[in-house]
Structure 1
């Protein structure tokens, strides 16, 4: 069903910008791996895979998911995969083997090196400004088996949204810390201006809104209120919700 959906929604496109993300679904017991087509306004869900949360970020699960999507999209299109920092450097290798491009965020203790610099830098030590900048061609991850070439961009996005929330103090502190971190973006794309790469990555937030719409009992479909507990039933609900 999903492969037919992917084929139908992408067959007339020459360029497909697709975000891939994980989310607890509808609670922490299960997780969904979802690919969504980024469009003006909101993302259109293409494929979803519901699994036990203990397999979240599993490379074999992710690679199988990519292979299924590639079979449905075909080889006559440029595909750009957009992901957040939850996908590590090893994620980019299967994308390149499929002939696809990527834009991903790098955070935390992951190392990168820009061409011409002898030293490796840690992503969390990066200092940036509110103006998007191209740092140069570089490499990601010092481990030879995970080493990945690409282009490095950075920008410090100003925090937006509500000044207060209903989260716990600990969660609020985490959100404030994340908002203060600059974006370090790593991509295989060439010929783009810095703000163009930032714009592509910024649109990834559309899929997070889709997840909220499906889970919210007050503003969305209310999947959190579902009494379904089995993987098959939740997978059906996921298909119906998208």
Structure 2
């Protein structure tokens, strides 16, 4: 079955409040993008229409800048998430930033479900470089993601070392489980212990199979000067 038919059926069933013409146009453009890529001109060339190329390109541009579709996109993400995760009680979700433009002026924040070794996008936002890793952006993003995920499915958020303490506090406040990675310069102290040491000293205890090393407190390193 063609992508256009699949998308129209899904949106008709799960997002009936979206205008029928907008659903049809979105399905048509997604099918064209699957063949041509994400350039507006290339998509316009692949649209199956008897109209001029200029008209087809303008049609793509109008849809991409449509304010109604911008508001409805969370509804579409939610519909896809419900279908994807309907039979799962738990899901691992990788969240990370990545550059869209080579100069870094546009940054993508994406949450993707990890299922059987594949990543399926659940939700994503684009932000200017000055908002990269901003706490408010993270908080709003995760609040939206929480509304997208099925109520019965518990998400375990997985992030790399670029996400710091305020990020994990936000996840705790929103009720997410999480797995994070700390930097090798961070200091840790084992529960009920008194000594602080660099976390990289634990590397020698790593094995090919994951194991629990116990509970640790973590603190940012402090610099001191000798007299």
Shorter-chain TM band: 0.5 to 0.7
Match of 1:55 in 2: 131
Ranges of 4+ aligned residues in structure 1 off by more than 6 Å: none
| 111, 118, 130: which one aligns with 1:42 | 118
Provide the TM-score with structure 2 as the length reference. 0.57
How far is 1:90 from its partner?
A: 1.8
Larger Rg: 2
Identify, as 1 or 2, the structure richer in helix. Answer: 2
Match of 1:25 in 2: 100
Q: How many aligned positions are there?
A: 143
How far is 1:99 from its partner?
A: 1.7
2:81–2:150 contact (8 Å) kept in structure 1: no
d(CA) in 2 for partners of 1:29, 1:138: 38
How far is 1:123 from its partner?
A: 3.0
* Higher-RCO chain (CA-CA 8 Å, sequence separation at least 6): 1
1:111–1:121 contact (8 Å) kept in structure 2: yes
Match of 2:178 in 1: 102
2:100–2:108 contact (8 Å) kept in structure 1: yes
2:85–2:150 contact (8 Å) kept in structure 1: no
Structure 1 pair 5–141 and aligned structure 2 pair: CA distance change class (3 A): farther
Write the deviation string for residues 202-227 of structure 1: whole angstroms up to 9, x where unpaired: xxxxxxxxxxxxxxxxxxxxxxxxxx
1:69 lines up with 2:145 in the alignment: yes
Provide the TM-score with structure 1 as the length reference. 0.54
Unaligned runs of 5+ in 1: 144-242
1:141 lines up with 2:219 in the alignment: yes
Match of 2:189 in 1: 113
d(CA) in 2 for partners of 1:122, 1:130: 15
For 2:212, what is the secondary structure of its paired residue?
Answer: strand
1:123 lines up with 2:199 in the alignment: yes
d(CA) in 1 for partners of 2:123, 2:115: 15
For 2:180, what is the secondary structure of its paired residue?
Answer: strand
For 1:128, what is the secondary structure of its paired residue?
Answer: helix
d(CA) in 2 for partners of 1:89, 1:122: 17
How far is 1:134 from its partner?
A: 2.4
Identify, as 1 or 2, the structure richer in strand. Answer: 1
Match of 2:155 in 1: 79
Higher mean alpha-carbon deviation, 42-51 vs 72-81, is at 72-81
How far is 1:116 from its partner?
A: 2.3
d(CA) in 2 for partners of 1:65, 1:56: 12
1:114–1:135 contact (8 Å) kept in structure 2: no
1:89–1:140 contact (8 Å) kept in structure 2: no
How far is 1:44 from its partner?
A: 0.7
